[in-house]
Homo-oligomer: A and B are copies of this chain.
Amino acid sequence: MRYSKFFLPTTKETPAEAEVISHQLLLRAGCIRKLTSGLYTYLPLGLMALQKVAAIVREEMNRAEAQELLMPMVQPADLWQESGRWKKYGPELLRFKDRHGRDYCLGPTHEEVITDIARRELQSYRQLPVNLYQIQTKFRDEIRPRFGLMRGREFVMKDAYSFDVDDEGASKSYEIMKNSYQRIFQRCGLSFRAVEADTGSIGGSYSHEFMVLADTGEDTLVICNDCDYAANVEKAAVVLPESGEKPGDPAPLHRVETPGMKKVDRVAEFLGVTPVDIIKTMVFLADGEPVAALVRGDRQVQEVKLKNLLGVSEVEPIADDEVWKLAKLPVGYMGPVEISIRLVADQEVMCMRNAVAGANEKGMHLTGVNPGRDFSPEQVGDLRQITPEDGCPVCGGKLSLTEGIEVGHIFKLGTNYSEALHATYQNKNGVDKPFVMGCYGIGVSRVVAAAIEQNHDANGIIFPLPLAPFQVLVLNLGLKNETISAAAEQLYSELRALGVEVLLDDRDERPGSKFKDADLIGIPYRATVGKTYEKEGMVELRLRVSGETVLLPFTEAADKIAAMIHEELRQLQDVKR
């Protein structure tokens, strides 16, 4: 491709609307343009990167013997009513009526449609297992679309669905997909981790997220330094150290005045204790009902864990100024003793002795609070966010936290959908059994954004080679110099003849502007043909990722560059994680 003819509108200014770096750089590098909130056009450069991801995903899915199909984007309501999600899904499911007044939605995911296909086309255990996938545009009506391709409304997704005869088969299908995902993200040239994850609104019993590691990630991961364990903090189980007796004897309950002391730290200081001695009471709305959750004073409530313990579909914190209105409790002085609303507690709280807690009266706290004697939560469980000080739940080893961007999510669904839709096969004995299902998603467009979040510098994008729209950018720095121009054209032709994907910058622009655009659009290899060629017959090859520069004799340049690219891609294909 010739840059002079390529539709690649780069910009110098950082767009005000873009909060995250991938969004900024995708706009500046002419990869995407906003149509309206959460809707983006992929310009040619951005689409090329997207197609690179899609091609890798397709190859690896086919290698794993999944079969590609393509389901409609527009889905009839009746299937969603059968599964029960027409009511449950919430406003992210965009619903509308057709010209005949029938209800439809734009597919955010396709469990219903694929289960409908399975129940009609798969009759016998002999036809199983089957894994069917598609690469398709999805729509979720996000309340606040943001971050460009990271959280858009329309996005490209690969979604696969496996059908097995039993749980053992489903586990096998799950493992095949887990390995396939490892290969996919490996081949994309990304640094990533598979982590145990919450199953969320899809449902199911077991799931892993694939996280691209990046400081700017929305998710926090906990990784064990000593074993393979890795999990989303939403999911990471806290294991309490085994303890014998509680220390000391229970003291009597005392009311103490703590005027203006609303924060844990101030209460602790005022009463001469530490946050470890305080029971923190937080109020949430769980499916619209207020619930009080207890954690130790130095801990944070993990809302996803709370949601799962309560068995509700949505948990949200209540703003301070709403607490009184909704729960009739005084913010800063709430506590578990004689509390008027539903009460749940983190497991750790139940081991505390002679704790401090709010007295549910403004300016008052209680000391000598003892679980069991003074209050009994309706439910007790693992409610708090894990910390690096906690031990690994598997091996007890040292944990560390890191940030990540979710790009893939695989689920063991079990029989949730097949039972709801009466999707069955006949087993060997002629008995109808529900399919045991799994589902497996990759945010294809999100991978592009995540790759940039992980790989960029102050000057622009640094595309990993396997996702790069072009592998090599040839700069012609002597457009009016016949010798230089002829050499640049020759290098361009030679590389293309070797199967290399090349962009030739043949624009009538100053070298400085060409270098700036080169850095911005992030093509991995930059080959400059300029004065050094004219004087010494050398091409300057620069690696975008390291800034490393080597001089190559012109006659060898194409072969050497092609060999380097070939070797880099081979290594990503070969190494197995």
Contact = CB atoms under 8 A, between A and B. Distances in A.
Interface of A: 5-7, 9, 33, 35-36, 39-44, 47, 50, 65, 67-76, 91-92, 94-99, 106, 113, 116-117, 120-121, 130, 132, 136-137, 139, 141, 143, 153-154
Nearest to A44: B67
Nearest to A139: B74
Interface centre among A5, A68, A74, A76, by most chain B C-beta atoms within 10 angstroms, is A74
A412 to B, nearest CB: 21
Contacts of A75: 35, 39
Contact of A73 (B33, B73, B92, B121): B73
A73 B7 contact: no
* Identical chains bound together, number: 2
Nearest to A114: B41
Contacts of A40: 72
B35 A71 contact: yes
B76 A117 contact: no
Contacts of A113: 35, 41
Contacts of A154: 72-74
B39 A130 contact: no
A99 B139 CA distance: 13
Contact of A39 (B72, B91, B95, B106): B72
Contact of A47 (B47, B68, B92, B121): B68
The 8 closest A-B pairs by CB, nearest first: A96-B96, A39-B72, A42-B70, A36-B76, A91-B99, A9-B121, A41-B71, A44-B67
Contacts of A71: 35, 41
Nearest to A40: B72
Contacts of A94: 96, 98-99
B41 A141 contact: no
A115 to B, nearest CB: 12
Given A33-B121, A143-B99, A106 B74 contact: yes
Contacts of A47: 68-70
A189 to B, nearest CB: 23
Given A33-B120, A91-B99, A117-B33, A72 B7 contact: no
A98 to B, nearest CB: 5
Contacts of A69: 7, 41-44, 47
A48 B98 CA distance: 30
B74 A153 contact: yes
Nearest to A35: B72
A480 to B, nearest CB: 17
A295 to B, nearest CB: 33
A164 to B, nearest CB: 14
15 contacts: A5-B65, A7-B69, A7-B121, A33-B121, A35-B116, A39-B76, A44-B67, A44-B69, A73-B73, A73-B137, A73-B139, A94-B98, A94-B99, A99-B141, A137-B137
